[in-house]
Structure formats: structure tokens, C-alpha cells
Amino acid sequence: MWRHAFASPADHIRTVRVERDAHYGAAVTALSAATGGSLLLSAGADGSLCLWDLSPCCTPSSMSGGSAPLRPRLLCRAQHPAPVVWAQLLAPDAALSATAGAAFVWRIEQQAEGQGLGAATGAAAAAAAAAAAAAAAAADPSSSAQQPSFRLLRRFNVEGGVTCAAAWDQYLAAGCTDGAVRVYDTYAGSCAKLLRLHHGGVSALQHARHGELDLLASGGADGQLLISDSGSTLTLAEAKVLRGGVSCLLLDARSGRLLAGSTAPGASHHCWMAGQRLSGLPSPAQRLRMSGNARLPQLGHAGVAALTTAVLPLFGGGSLFLGGCGAGVVHICSLETGATLQSFRPPDPSRAASPANVQPPQQQQAGQVQRHSSSSGSGDSSAAAPSGSTSAPQRRQQGSRPGLLAPTGARHQSCLCLCADTMPVAAGFADGRLVFWRWRRRGSAPAAQPAEAAAAAAAGQAAAGNAARAAGAAPTGT
């Protein structure tokens, strides 16, 4: 379905929604979604962790003509004592996050709207909470009385200064500033393996399952790309970018292609081949008999310059990847040739209409959470923008939280993270924007918002009643 939208952009309409105040203007550093689910996790440099409800706008039918409104809803929030550098939603009820010096294991629990009110709140507060829940349910039928919240299960220290991470099963692999990758057991909170891989800091890390092996693809400031076995700690294969360090990497286990962005000015991304389903990699036993690491053959094609993040879309059929660049543009590219199929620049926040009266909560301690009945500070930057055009820009609110607003220059609008495991697609930017977008076929009108539909129905009933009363009061002719 992605290929249909990109092959015929004139037949599709792109809908965009911008959330400006989820992280109070601080950079959005991580995005993650449980595959096939409707929950999205976002993390920011302000130390906050946000959980979003994307239903019902995350269904695949929304691209093929579905009419569900694009209206993500902020469910709950947790606070860290330092900026979050990485986060992952492991399951609908479990999440991991990391700051530079610690890792956090979270459980996402369902709580009733009134749960947690102390006895001092009294019956009036309980009645007010029930009335607020009823009003929220009336305004949004998709909401329910059960609201999720974050509960901190454990926290453990991570050595070396975390810059990136990857998680699988019960393990967390942390790439560190000293060039090492430390594998932690999240149940015990202890370091299980230490892989000393790079001469500079580790700048990108990804986990890939190959048979019974748990592989780690890592990139460093030294420009090296390494594929290592986390079990034996052996490095199986290596590659190197031509100039600069590694800004991001993407290993597609199905096609065997390894993509990497470079930090060198003007450098395009590079691509190497590890064999179909990683068949070109030696096993750990074969590696022990080799004199050095296997060298991955490089595929010669040019790509997007200044690539800062890259992901494989869930609905791409293995033929596409999405890449964000330092100029704040999201590119949809062919995985086989590297050619850019479409480019999309989200609305410029420096010229947007500010949302009204958005007040940030007070700074919270690590482990504290806040539940939300609906997202605040959000707006549709384009209710229905043509796929080939850029939607009207909007002005973000200034002064939401002092000291966390990034300047609005081009270098501060870099796309830092992408998530394409759901529909809509989400992108996080250095200036604090969290952008959602999707495509639908032209001619399928989007559904009205629940509040708008209720208001329209009430207005229609009132008009019908007025007309009936006027007809009853009118004199009859003879």
C-alpha cells in the first residue's frame, strides 16, 4: 500500500498533525511502537516519556481510503531525572528507557480514572473526576474509564555514558561514549557481556536475529561499522564509511542490506551487502578460524545527504525505507537503488499559530507519572494536504518551559527519530515537534471529529425543533 501511494502521489492526499508541546519544546529523541499495535512511545530531552494512543487512525485501511480521523491522544507521562537518549516499547504493557547514566524498566498499567485519589479528596472530588471522565468519554468515544499509567519497576546504573541502545528479550545493549557495547540483563540489572568494538564513541546500534544468533550492528565515530554476535562477543563482519563517522545505520535482515549515514558534510549514505537473510556472514565457529573480520562488499549507489535516522516501514513490503536528514526533511527511498521516491518537509514551527493557554506541569521526579484524558497543545497543520505539496506552516508556542526551547534555525530542525511500525508514521525533531502523517486515497472524505459530529447533530436537532415550532405557530389560511 505504501508503493501505491508513492507511485501515484496525485491520487492520494496527505494528512498531517503536529504535536508541539508534548516535550515542551525539547528535542524528541526516541520513538517506538509495538508492531501491529496502536500505542506509540515518545521520549524527549526534557526527560519525559509519553505514551500515545493512535487508534483508530493507525489501521492500514486509513491509507487505502479509510476515513478515521488523524487524532493521536496523549495517555500518560513519566519523568526521568535527566534527558532520555533512548526508549523502546517492548509490548503494550512494558517499556524500556535510558538516560546517559541509567536504564529504567517500566510497566504500563491500566488504572481507573478515579484511582489514586486519597481519602482527603472527598466525595466532591470523586464526583468531579467522574463528571470529567464522562465528559471526556462523550467528547471522544474511543476513550474509556481505564487510563494507562507508567509504573517504574526497576532502575540500574549503566557505565560508560549511554549514547544509543537496542533491546531484545530480557537484554539491553547500550552503546557508550568509550566505544564499548555493554549488554545488561534487565531482570538482574547487571552487565552480562562487554564488547569493546570502536575506538570512538558508539553512535548507532541495532539488534537483528539471525537463526539462533542475536546480532548487534554498531557504528561509531571512527567510521567503522561492525556486526557482532552478542553471545560469543565475536565481531563477524565489518565495513567503513568513506568520510566522517557513522550518524545512523539500518540493517535489513531479509535483504541483507546494511545502510549507514555519515557525519561528513555533504556525504550521502552508504550501502553494503551481507547476503540474503544475512547468509554472507560467517558463523562464530567459522570466525574463529579466520584471520580477520569478513569485509562486507559495498554497493555503489548515491543516496540522501546528511542522513540522521533511517527505519523500515511496516507496510513497505521490504522495498522501501524512510530516512530523516539534518535539514528536517523526511525522505522515502527505494531500498534496492537508494533513489528518493518522495520528500516531505513538515510545517515550520516558527510561523505557526500558537495553541491557546498550554501550561506545562511542574518538574516531576523519576518514576512519577501523569495521566491525560486528551493531548494538549496539538493541532492539525494540514487537515488534508496534497501528497505532492507542503502543508501550511504553523507557529509553535513560545515560552512553554524556559531553557528547553531550541532555536528555530535550520540546523535545529533536524529529524532525530522516525517510527514507521504503525500508521500514521511519526517523526521527532530537534526543535520539539512530533509530527504524524498518513495518506488516503483522493475521494474518501475523512470522518468528522466526534465533538464536531455531536455539535453538528445538536445544531441540526435545534434547527429542526425551531422549524417545527414555527410551523405550529403559523396561522392557517382559509
Flag whether pLDDT at 286 surpasses 80. yes
Do residues 223 and 173 lie in contact, with contact meaning Cβ atoms separated by under 8 Å? no
Q: Which pLDDT score is estimated for 457?
A: 52
Flag whether pLDDT at 410 surpasses 70. no
How far is Cα 189 from Cα 145, in angstroms, rounded to an integer? 35
How far is Cα 105 from Cα 90, in angstroms, rounded to an integer? 10
Q: Which pLDDT score is estimated for 301?
A: 59
Q: Which pLDDT score is estimated for 13?
A: 73
Q: Which pLDDT score is estimated for 349?
A: 54
Closest CA to 436 of 140, 71, 74: 71
Do residues 321 and 250 lie in contact, with contact meaning Cβ atoms separated by under 8 Å? yes
How far is Cα 48 from Cα 458, in angstroms, rounded to an integer? 39
- Round the average pLDDT of the chain to a whole number and report it: 76
> For the segment 135-172, what is each residue's pLDDT rounded down to a tens digit?
554 455 444 457 899 999 999 999 999 999 999 999 99
Which range is least confidently modeled, 107-116, 286-295, 405-414?
405-414
Three-state SS at 360: coil
Question: Burial, 93: exposed, middle or buried (Cβ in 10 Å; 0-12, 13-18, 19+)?
Answer: middle
How far is Cα 235 from Cα 428, in angstroms, rounded to an integer? 32
| Proportion of the chain above pLDDT 70, given as a percent | 64
DSSP per-residue codes, 127-149: HHHHHHHHHHHHH-TT--SEEEE
How far is Cα 157 from Cα 99, in angstroms, rounded to an integer? 10
Q: What is the amino acid identity at position 178?
A: D
Which residues partner with 310 through β-bridges? Answer: 323
User: Which pLDDT band, with edges at 50, 70 and 90, does 55 fall under?
Assistant: confident
Flag whether pLDDT at 279 surpasses 50. yes
How far is Cα 297 from Cα 166, in angstroms, rounded to an integer? 25
In this prediction, residues 78-85 reach a mean pLDDT of 97
Q: Which pLDDT score is estimated for 465?
A: 59
| Domain ranges within the chain, ordered by starting residue | 2-115+142-453
Q: How many CB atoms lie within 10 A of CB 217?
A: 23
User: Which pLDDT band, with edges at 50, 70 and 90, does 195 fall under?
Assistant: very high
Three-state SS at 293: coil
In this prediction, residues 399-423 reach a mean pLDDT of 63
> For the segment 345-372, what is each residue's pLDDT rounded down to a tens digit?
887 655 544 443 334 444 444 445 544 4
Q: Which pLDDT score is estimated for 347?
A: 77
| Proportion of the chain above pLDDT 90, given as a percent | 47
How far is Cα 268 from Cα 315, in angstroms, rounded to an integer? 25
Flag whether pLDDT at 342 surpasses 80. yes
Q: Provide the whole-model pTM.
A: 0.76
> For the segment 105-119, what is each residue's pLDDT rounded down to a tens digit?
999 998 754 444 333
Q: Which pLDDT score is estimated for 319?
A: 84
Which residues partner with 418 through β-bridges? Answer: 427
Q: Say which DSSP state 118 is in.
A: -
> For 2-115+142-453, which CATH superfamily applies?
YVTN repeat-like/Quinoprotein amine dehydrogenase (2.130.10.10)
Flag whether pLDDT at 477 surpasses 50. no
